[in-house]
Amino acid sequence: MEKVIATIVIIVLTMGLISYAIIGQMGGFRDTADTVTNESTRLDAMLNDSSIVPISTVRGYMGRSVTNGFDVYVYDGADATVDAEINDSIDECGENAMFNMEKIYDEYGKIETINFYLISQASAA
């Protein structure tokens, strides 16, 4: 009888430890699913409207603006941030920030100005 009770106790403890490990993994799966959902929403927005771009695109145009001869302005609300302030403004935005991009061309079809309007700083984490 004692062996039966000991066996039942061992089985219950083993199942408890296994279920504890599984519950921890399920929490990780939920976090991953939330991240995937947020990223999916961001990608859907970019696919539906090609003028919506991530912060990496803004940084890329900022880096090429001097060599290619166009101006870049970033609007985070009412006012534009320009020149030296642009890098600070961009660094304040999260890595998941989304912008609406507007390109202005000169009479020869060359890019003259690119305006970026902050539309979302939603976190995907």
Task: Specify the pTM.
Answer: 0.63
Q: In what order do the strands lie in the sheet with 98-105?
A: 52-54, 98-105, 111-120, 71-75, 80-81
* Predicted pLDDT of residue 84: 46
* Predicted pLDDT of residue 124: 44
* Predicted pLDDT of residue 125: 44
Percent of the chain clearing pLDDT 90 (strictly above): 10
Structural domain boundaries in the chain? 1-48, 51-120
Task: Report how far residue 37's alpha carbon sits from residue 121's, in angstroms, rounded to the nearest whole number.
Answer: 16
* Predicted pLDDT of residue 87: 60
Task: Report how far residue 30's alpha carbon sits from residue 9's, in angstroms, rounded to the nearest whole number.
Answer: 31
Q: What is the amino acid identity at position 12? A: V
**Regions of the chain short of the pLDDT cut 70:** 27, 77-91, 122-125
**Comparing C-alpha atoms, which of 125, 115, 7, 122 is closest to residue 51?**
115
* Predicted pLDDT of residue 64: 86
